[in-house]
Amino acid sequence: MPAVSYDLLNRWLESVALSHGKLISKITYLFCDDDEILKVNNQFLSHDYYTDIITFDYSRGKLIAGDIYISLDTVRSNSLVLCKSYEEELMRVVVHGVLHLCGINDKGPGEREIMESFEDEALASLHDF
């Protein structure tokens, strides 16, 4: 894990949620390796592949809550493929989970572009904290 200011991270994610009309109730991040995320993917989603993030949403109304699994192995390999720093890719995945909890999807037609736009906007705002 890179060195992270949890106070800064909390303020940033609260700001992102607020920009989507949401308030953070409780979010738990579970950082793991590829083997663990594959187990979670198999057990809970019946998917047999690796991913960088799995978000379990427990939100109610304007209060967002959830468990977010992030594979640091996949984040690292994605950062190399995308020519991004590991830290930047990790922050993209962290905010991606919050955006899912805010109700933004990325599987349907045109949704991926919308998600990426919100990720880019959130990452640009990180420097304000």
Average pLDDT, the chain: 95
Domain that holds residue 32: 6-128
At residue 3, does pLDDT exceed 80? no
Q: Taking the model in full, what pTM does it have?
A: 0.94
Q: Which whole number is the average pLDDT over 82-93?
A: 96
Structure tokens of 93? 């995945």
Q: Which whole number is the average pLDDT over 83-95?
A: 96
In this structure, is residue 1 part of a structural domain? no
In this structure, is residue 72 part of a structural domain? yes
**pLDDT tens digits, one per residue of 19-28:** 999 999 999 9
How many domains in the chain?
A: 1
Give the domain CATH number at 75: 3.40.390.30
pLDDT of residue 129: 85
- Exposed (0-12), middle (13-18) or buried (19+): which is 12, by Cβ within 10 Å? buried
In this structure, is residue 66 part of a structural domain? yes
